[in-house]
Amino acid sequence: MKTKLILPSRISPLARLNRLLSQKQYVQSRFFIVVDENTYSHCLPTLIAGVSALQQSEFFEVPLGEEAKGVDVAAQLWGALLESGADRNSVIVNLGGGCVSDIGGFVAAAYMRGIRYVNVPTTLVGMVDAAIGGKTAVNLETVKNAVGFFHAADAVCVEPDFLDTLPESERVAGLFEMAKTLLLSDVVAFDALVDAVLRSDGVPLDFVKSHIADCTAFKQSVVAADPYERSARKMLNLGHTFGHGIESYLMQVGSPVSHGIAVGIGLMCSMYLSVKKLGLDASLLQRYVSLVRRLVTVPAFSLRDAEGVLGYMRHDKKNREGLILCVLLQSVGVPVVDVAVDENEVRDALLSLSKL
Ligand SMILES: NC(=O)c1ccc[n+]([C@@H]2O[C@H](COP(=O)([O-])OP(=O)(O)OC[C@H]3O[C@@H](n4cnc5c(N)ncnc54)[C@H](O)[C@@H]3O)[C@@H](O)[C@H]2O)c1
Ligand SMILES: [Zn+2]
């Protein structure tokens, strides 16, 4: 199934979503909107006002953040759908960030062996990443995304103005995923992003809004070429092998950071090794470091911390035959996937962070 992308343009994305949901393939459909507490209050009124096709919808509220991504929450939603008489023509509309689209997509993938769903992302992480690509998942205990399906959305509708109410810390998290995408796709826009961050106090919202569509479309094009992550899609993990290790370790030691911020720091490590191993231009690394330092405090890892992060990186599900595999960059837009990185290189990158 091909996902229809509704991106910002002269006509409002919500108006175009309304047009889509009023077409004949949805005439028999009932719509069920999944929200969390914040998107219920900040985003649902705008969605209903802009998309009259959704006016008769029922809505289900899931817990905030990762708490939403549980098998127990999925079971409750399946029960609620059954009770409401949802059938195979029903459509789930996920209004929220990546946690809402992951649980709502997961529920849609399994209910009656798969029903349709639409993502309306309301976080920057959602708009440039999580809402695109058909990966849905729940967590098991502490293992993130342990169970899931590839189940493509019918449509993804990106309305950047939802970011107006997003807290600054969540905007920062999304900005790092945007930086990752621009490093993979567009040297000019990456450079402009660094300038915009250095010029502004916090996340430069106008710049960010004006580059969302390109990032969303880039991810969609990578996914279309390799939906099941056998080759090209792996590039989207740039910064994530380090990022996941850093995220898990900092959670373990009681100083958690969000996924996006861990990825932002992980990207520093990947670029550092890219300079050493693949000859990436060192001034690009320096530009990126200046962006990171403007937005977050980079942790000064001790050798003990580095061992802790490494412990998690050894168990990354993308490793093969005991090797830690990373995505590195030759230059902007030229990633190299599955680069084997040895443990001393990992330690070196982590210990160098505070000196860059
Ligand atoms: N499926 C994928 O391909 C994919 C890709 C990347 C990330 N993810 C998943 O996405 C999740 C992270 O997503 P996220 O960062 O969007 O987190 P999130 O969904 O938890 O949203 C972050 C916070 O922002 C609030 N919020 C959302 N929109 C708002 C708005 N417009 N105004 C005010 N508050 C708002 C939410 O209530 C929440 O408190 C992780 O679980 C990650 O695994 C999935
Ligand atoms: Zn990510």
Kindly state whether residues 128 and 173 are assigned to the same domain.
no
Picking from 120, 144, 165, the residue at the C-terminal end of a domain is 165
Kindly state the average pLDDT of the residues 11-27: 97
pLDDT digits (tens, 9 = 90+) for 289-320: 999 999 999 999 999 999 999 999 998 777 77
Ligand 1 binding pocket includes 98 (Cβ within 6 Å): yes
Q: Is the separation of the CB atoms in 293 and 287 below 8 Å?
A: no
Kindly state the average pLDDT of the residues 140-145: 81
Confidence (pLDDT) at 1 = 65
pLDDT at 141 over 90: no
Kindly state the average pLDDT of the residues 333-346: 95
Kindly state the average pLDDT of the residues 140-147: 84
Q: Which ligand has an atom closest to residue 39 CA?
A: 1
Ligand 1 binding pocket includes 99 (Cβ within 6 Å): yes
Kindly state whether residues 15 and 140 are assigned to the same domain.
yes
- Round to whole Å and give the CA distance between 105 and 92: 8
Kindly state whether residues 336 and 279 are assigned to the same domain.
yes
Kindly state whether residues 77 and 105 are assigned to the same domain.
yes
Separation in Å, CA 146 to CA 149, 160, 352: 10, 30, 32
Instruction: Give nearest CA residue, ligand 1 atom 11.
Output: 98
Instruction: Rounding to the nearest 10 degrees, give the CA dihedral for residues 200, 202, 205, 206.
Output: 0
Q: Which residues lie below 8 Å from residue 257, measured CB to CB, with a gap of 6+?
A: 246, 247, 250, 265, 296
For 89, list phi and psi in degrees, rounded to 5: -85, -5
CATH number at residue 268: 1.20.1090.10
Q: Which ligand has an atom closest to residue 242 CA?
A: 2
Q: Is the separation of the CB atoms in 350 and 268 below 8 Å?
A: no
Tell me the CA–centroid distance for residue 263 and ligand 2, in Å. Answer: 6
Domain that holds residue 323: 169-355
Q: Which residues of 225-239 are buried (b: 16+ CB within 10 A; e: fewer)?
A: eeeebeeebbbbbbb
pLDDT at 199 over 90: yes
Picking from 121, 143, 165, the residue at the C-terminal end of a domain is 165
Kindly state the average pLDDT of the residues 57-71: 96
Kindly state the average pLDDT of the residues 324-334: 97
Kindly state whether residues 273 and 190 are assigned to the same domain.
yes
Kindly state whether residues 69 and 106 are assigned to the same domain.
yes
Ligand 1 binding pocket includes 129 (Cβ within 6 Å): yes
As given in the structure block, the two tokens for residue 338 are 């599955």
Lowest mean pLDDT among 214-223, 276-285, 321-330: 321-330
Percent of the chain with pLDDT over 90: 92
- Round to whole Å and give the CA distance between 123 and 78: 25
pLDDT digits (tens, 9 = 90+) for 66-78: 999 999 999 999 9
Kindly state the average pLDDT of the residues 98-107: 98
pLDDT digits (tens, 9 = 90+) for 35-48: 999 999 999 999 99
Kindly state whether residues 186 and 332 are assigned to the same domain.
yes
- Who wins on pLDDT, 241 or 143? 241
Tell me the CA–centroid distance for residue 82 and ligand 2, in Å. Answer: 33
Total domains, the chain: 2
pTM given for the model:
0.96
Ligand 1 atom closest to Cα of residue 126: 16
Q: Which residues lie below 8 Å from residue 17, measured CB to CB, with a gap of 6+?
A: 6, 50, 51, 118, 120, 155, 157
Kindly state whether residues 144 and 276 are assigned to the same domain.
no
Kindly state whether residues 266 and 176 are assigned to the same domain.
yes
Kindly state the average pLDDT of the residues 123-129: 97
Ligand 1 atom closest to Cα of residue 136: 1
pLDDT at 151 over 70: yes
Tell me the CA–centroid distance for residue 95 and ligand 1, in Å. Answer: 10
Kindly state the average pLDDT of the residues 262-270: 98
Confidence (pLDDT) at 143 = 76
CATH number at residue 16: 3.40.50.1970
Kindly state whether residues 96 and 56 are assigned to the same domain.
yes
Kindly state whether residues 194 and 330 are assigned to the same domain.
yes
Percent of the chain with pLDDT over 70: 100
Confidence (pLDDT) at 266 = 98
- What is the pLDDT of the chain when averaged over all its residues? 96
Picking from 145, 165, 185, the residue at the C-terminal end of a domain is 165
Kindly state whether residues 238 and 134 are assigned to the same domain.
no
Confidence (pLDDT) at 4 = 97
pLDDT digits (tens, 9 = 90+) for 200-222: 999 999 999 999 999 999 999 99
Q: Confidence band (pLDDT; 50, 70, 90) for 144? A: confident
